Amino acid sequence: MTMKSLLSTVSLALLLGGAATAAQAQIPIGHLADYSGGTSEVGTPYGQGIADTFAWVNKSGGVGGKQLAVDTNDYGYQVPRAIALYKKWSGADKVAAIMGWGTADTEALTGFVAQDKIPYFSASYAAALTDPEGASGKAKPAPYNFFYGPSYSDAMRALLIWAAEDWKAKGKPGKPKFVHMGANHPYPNAPKAAGEALATELGFEVLPPLVFALAPGDYSAQCLSLKSSGANYAYLGNTSGSNISVLKACKTAGVDVQFLGNVWGMDENAAKTAGDAADGVIFPLRTAVIWGGNAPGMKTVMEISKISDPSGKVYRPVHYIAAVCSALYVKEALDWAAKNGGATGENVAKGFYQKKDWVPAGMEGVCNPSTWTEKDHRGTLKVDIYRSKISGPTDGDLNDLMAKGTIKLEKVKTVDLPRKPEWLGW
């Protein structure tokens, strides 16, 4: 071997070694997003919030001096694609955590993430994901599943408690009638049994469910069925895209019902698109404030938003802010892990148990305090209930509509649910 070729070989080795060291100096994170599938109208702002937050974390020095290598993938809300991505993320370059999305895919992967010890912080709030030990007997053990906010079931329970009080306050005679509406799909169905059980307990007459697809469409038939059923309170279990179709069709059909939206079922964009058909919809909010709200932590949210909007002019809906909270909980669990044996999935999971009434640094007054324990992954049982108010035409810029108060999200009530053991995992 000549001296020249020897030097070339040494240079190549040093180069490859440097690349390997650079790779080792990063913490891999999987990010599942729906930018094009059946829930993309809410998946897009949420996914952007996750991406912006992790980019901001990297810009601010990363975790333990290491950058986060975030692999963001639009899986189009398709379970097989989520499973294929999981195989990649659980392989040789195993991720330290995964930011998940839908209920069907999250539940399909629950056993795998437990086996592979990869924390899975989802945007599915199915109650089945809250029982780490499977102690309730209602769901399989989900020790590596986490999410921020009340479960779908607990949010629905809070909405029903509000509805029972609303019926009483209106002084109406007889039993109020309640109906569950949504696609026949794991996500809208997740809180159905729990909600109907509490509705019965609270004195509602529970009507047969009305099914409508996750995609927008003509739901005049469902609205006519809703009208003829005499329902007083209707829970919309789908995301806002198809809910808008229902709200508009039911307004046209003259349906007099109080709609209760799930956490993905109503937001500022939906209120703008639905216009006066969205007036009066009741729904839960995960964060303590909305965009531009009066809270110290809003300064951090605004900084993070500038990652993808340097102008600072884009209005961020409620899902974006909830995503920022979610990503920062994961970031702080990673921080703890990095200082306690390294950012492995097992250590990151332990990181979620280190704080009580936990609000990520810099997010005071924005993220509601959360507590996860090894026996209970219900991070919060506090449910903030809001009402959408529309007071005029909703054409135009969302920032202006919100600033003028044409669209308002007003707080109606906070329900603090009891931590009932029988509600764990259900």
**Structure tokens that stand for 328 in this block:** 């920062």
Contacts of residue 84, defined as CB under 8 A and 6 or more positions apart, other chains included, come to none
Q: Residue 24 has what pLDDT?
A: 53
If you write DSSP's letter for every residue of 257-312 in order, what string do you get? Answer: -EEEE-TTT--HHHHHHHGGGGTT-EEEESBSS-TT-S-TTHHHHHHHHTTT-TTS
For the whole model, what pTM was predicted?
0.94
User: What is the reported pLDDT for 128?
Assistant: 98
Give yes or no for a contact between 306 and 92, defined as CB atoms under 8 angstroms apart: no
Please return the burial class of 309, using the count of CB atoms within 10 Å of its CB with bins 0-12, 13-18 and 19+. Answer: middle
Residue 399 CB coordination number (10 Å): 14
DSSP letter for each residue of 300-333: HHHHHHTTT-TTS-PPPPHHHHHHHHHHHHHHHH
What are the chain's domains? 21-149+296-351 (3.40.50.2300), 152-291+382-423 (3.40.50.2300)
Averaged pLDDT in 10-residue chunks for the chain of 426 residues: 43 43 75 97 98 98 97 98 98 96 98 98 98 95 98 98 97 95 97 98 98 97 98 98 98 98 98 98 98 97 98 97 98 98 98 98 98 98 98 96 97 98 97
